[in-house]
Amino acid sequence: MSVPHTRSFTETDVQRLRRGGSLHFNHYGRPPLPFACVGAQGIEMDVADLTAEGRGRVLRLIDTSGGYGSACLGAGHHVVRHALRRAVDECGYVTDELGSQERAALLDRLFGPAGIWSHRFPAQDYHVSGRNSGSEGMEMALRLVLESRFDARRLRHRPGRERRDTILAFQGAWHGWTHGLVPLLNRRHYRVGLPAADSAQEFGIQVEHIPFGDPDSLATFFSARADRLLAVVVEPIQGDAGILLPPPGYLRDLSRRCADHGVLLVADEVLTFGKSGDFFAMADEDGPVPTDITVIGKYLGMGVLSTSMVIARRGLTVRGSGTVATSDLRPVTCAVIHDGLDHLVRGRLVEDSGALGDHLADLVDTGLVRRFPEVFSERRGVGVLHGVELTSRAAARLGELRTELIRAGVYVEFMAGAGKRSGGLRYVHPTMRIAPPLVTTRAQLDEIVDRIATGTRTFQSAG
Ligand SMILES: Cc1ncc(COP(=O)(O)O)c(C=O)c1O
């Protein structure tokens, strides 16, 4: 299969792109990929090949990542363009000190009397805040959890909450990287060397991790520790752990246990938002699974803004000025979210993505997992969020696989995998994530899987 080479970059351009790559603080602990994006439209993106043999040649790729699951409408979408133009031309930059027409319109569309989520988060029970990223949203969720046991007027524990010093998270969890969140990550190499949660201090907390999706571990933990538990923080589908889905009934059981024991349930839907065939993955055949705090992000910013929303029960608040963010739901953010979500609802893009995802699942199972058992061991996922786990042999050559896929005309991202888990659960290797934007067509899905197969064949024959 040939990948169209639209143009080529000069040696000077290539050097500038390489220099940009080396100036940009590399957080990954390994050299950056030798490719740079030089344009994008829809779900296609042009990248310059910066390798010596590539010599600035431009490759047109299909993007299966949506920019780490952010760009539900792909690149250059007319709805986003109009929203941005409208916001810049008309809406100003007012902060949360003043009301704003755009903010009111957005919150009404989502949570007002006829709002798209008012059945799930009725306005008399929930309030909403905006943050700049998923991590900031999760920080605020954590802050709401901590303040729930604190009496801000008397500066002491709320009576009866003194012993609630434990937060439960899950093995393989990923919730962001900011300081307060680090103890929630069940990743030794992200945590060690940074200040740990410490229940010995006044108002201190401890964080415990149990295997995700294992009903017995959950039951055992609640029987032993429910009276100490302040909150549970869960990704309804674990993302970084390799797209791990819990068994049916698990999330509802978790929610019931939390409600029965006065424990707050925080759903981290930063990644899952809009990708499971529904806006929220905290759901089952009986409908929404109740939560006390839900954090959404990624798709919310339509691929052009980094933003998140924290939807929390009204009883959960912070001390005066406790989480002021002057960027909270400014007009431009509201305009993009409003018009983007409106487009998703009117076009049924989220609902229809369930069937799109079923098609993708079939394609991946037949065209990749069964065809390349030495490279891929298993596909997991739902809607437009799928993970294809690598075998240990392929995982050891992940960089090569990634490069071959790019050369075959497709861009995919890889998740760390959950690694070693307790409770008899098996090791989870790094996992290729296929999370195409909601605007992806069936024909494009066919092409995506074809291109991944082509790249995988080359990778395999080189190994
Ligand atoms: C489940 C989950 N929570 C939180 C975050 C953090 O979001 P952000 O990168 O926008 O800070 C991520 C990022 O990937 C995520 O996957």
Containing domain of residue 458, as a range? Answer: 39-63+349-462
The response to whether residue 243 sits with its C-beta less than 6 Å from ligand 1 reads: no
Which of the 8 DSSP states describes residue 164? Answer: -
Residue 28 lies in a domain: no
Of the candidates 302, 322, 346, which is a domain's last residue?
346
344-388: pLDDT as tens digits: 999 999 999 999 999 999 999 999 999 999 999 999 999 999 999
Give the number of the atom of ligand 1 that is nearest the alpha carbon of residue 181.
Answer: 4
Say if residue 332 is in the same domain as residue 356: no
Asked if pLDDT for residue 140 goes beyond 70, the answer is yes
* Å from CA of 266 to ligand 1 middle: 14
Of the candidates 346, 362, 386, which is a domain's last residue?
346
Residue 292 lies in a domain: yes
Give the bridge partners for 173, in sequence order: none
64-92: pLDDT as tens digits: 999 999 999 999 999 999 999 999 999 99
Residue 82 lies in a domain: yes
The response to whether residue 138 sits with its C-beta less than 6 Å from ligand 1 reads: yes
Domain count, the chain: 2
* Å from CA of 67 to ligand 1 middle: 12
- Using pLDDT thresholds of 50, 70 and 90, give the confidence band for residue 50: very high
- Of the given ranges (2-16, 119-133, 173-187, 303-317), which has the lowest mean pLDDT? 2-16
Q: Look up tokens 């899950």; give the residue.
A: 170
Give the number of the atom of ligand 1 that is nearest the alpha carbon of residue 306.
Answer: 10
Say if residue 308 is in the same domain as residue 427: no
User: For position 5, what pLDDT does the model report?
Assistant: 57
Of the candidates 346, 365, 395, which is a domain's last residue?
346
Say if residue 122 is in the same domain as residue 252: yes
* Å from CA of 183 to ligand 1 middle: 15
Question: Which CATH number belongs to the domain containing residue 43 in this structure?
Answer: 3.90.1150.10
Q: Are 130 and 336 in contact (CB under 8 A)?
A: no
* Å from CA of 176 to ligand 1 middle: 5
Q: Which of 27, 28, 135, 305 should be mutated for ligand 1, with most atoms under 8 A from CB? A: 135
Alpha carbon separation from 170 to 27, 217, 351, 372 (Å, rounded): 24, 11, 29, 31
- The protein residue with its alpha carbon nearest to ligand 1, atom 3, reads 175
Residue 8 lies in a domain: no
Q: Which of 190, 270, 327 should be mutated for ligand 1, with most atoms under 8 A from CB? A: 270
Asked if pLDDT for residue 2 goes beyond 70, the answer is no
Asked if pLDDT for residue 1 goes beyond 70, the answer is no
Say if residue 419 is in the same domain as residue 319: no
**In sequence order, what are the residues at sequence separation of 6 or more whose Cβ sits closer than 8 angstroms to the Cβ of residue 177?**
135, 190
Say if residue 329 is in the same domain as residue 234: yes
The response to whether residue 46 sits with its C-beta less than 6 Å from ligand 1 reads: no
The response to whether residue 433 sits with its C-beta less than 6 Å from ligand 1 reads: no
At 103 the three-state DSSP class reads helix
Distance CA 30, CA 205 (A): 34
Say if residue 89 is in the same domain as residue 43: no
- The protein residue with its alpha carbon nearest to ligand 1, atom 8, reads 134
Residue 13 lies in a domain: no
221-236: pLDDT as tens digits: 999 999 999 999 999 9
* Å from CA of 414 to ligand 1 middle: 14
Residue 69 lies in a domain: no
Say if residue 242 is in the same domain as residue 169: yes
CA-based nearest residue to 244, from 424, 37, 36, 421: 421
Q: Are 427 and 420 in contact (CB under 8 A)?
A: yes
Say if residue 357 is in the same domain as residue 335: no
Question: Which CATH number belongs to the domain containing residue 82 in this structure?
Answer: 3.40.640.10
Say if residue 57 is in the same domain as residue 84: no
